Amino acid sequence: MTIQRLLTVSLLATAFAAAATPALANQDAVQFGSNIHVAPDASVHDAVCFFCNVDVEGTVTGDIVVFFGSVHVSGAAQHDVVNFFGEIRVDDNVSIGHDMVSMFGAVRLGENVSVGKDLVAMFGVARTPASVTVGGDHVTMPGWILFGPLILVGFVVFLIVHEIRAYHRRQLLRGYPFPPNQ
């Protein structure tokens, strides 16, 4: 009975795998560990990068998403720019179409940069000149707001563990004569 079930499940899995249509990403640049460079005369739809950098001199019509790397925009970014654990650097007179989000990283914007909607820099640093225009909200939360309380809690835990160990050491040494009798 179990062999029939196993055969049925295998046949169903094979049928679903054969019927699946592949995802098409003709205009997308997706890399893992290799940098993405969009040349001045080139255009891509989405640029997604894990453990690498994205350098845009041309046009990105979709989103730019980077994990553990940096983003440099000197061309056109027509949609969102998102970075986790890295740096976003935008040259002078560049326009970001929609949102710019940085988590645990730095944002450095040049003069006369335009962000279409929201600019969010969480747990990092945002250096934005007065000439930067943001169409929506501009939210910046420095890293010490997260890491300050964590360091304080870690210090309290360290003190508690230290005092418990010192107490147990005193209890252990209480049973031994000190200095030793000759």
Give residue-wise pLDDT tens across range 97-110. Answer: 999 999 999 999 99
Tokens of 20: 């699946």
Position 32 pLDDT exceeds 80: yes
Strand order in the sheet with 43-44: 43-44, 59-60, 76-77, 95-96, 114-115, 133-134
Say whether both 163 and 100 belong to one domain: no
Amino acid 42 reads A
Between 18 and 171, name the one with better pLDDT: 171
Say whether both 49 and 62 belong to one domain: yes
Residue 12 lies in a domain: no
Say what the pLDDT of residue 26 is: 59
Position 23 pLDDT exceeds 50: no
Position 182 pLDDT exceeds 50: yes
- The helix (H) or strand (E) run that includes residue 10 is helix 2-19
Give CA–CA dist 105/110, Å, rounded.
17
Position 176 pLDDT exceeds 80: no
The answer to whether 98 and 117 have CB atoms below 8 angstroms apart is: yes
Span 126-148, average pLDDT: 84
- Domain range spanning residue 68? 27-142
Say whether both 131 and 73 belong to one domain: yes
Say whether both 55 and 138 belong to one domain: yes
Peptide bond into 179 cis (omega under 30): yes
Position 24 pLDDT exceeds 50: no
Q: How many domains does the chain have?
A: 2
pTM of the model: 0.69
Span 56-77, average pLDDT: 93
Amino acid 7 reads L
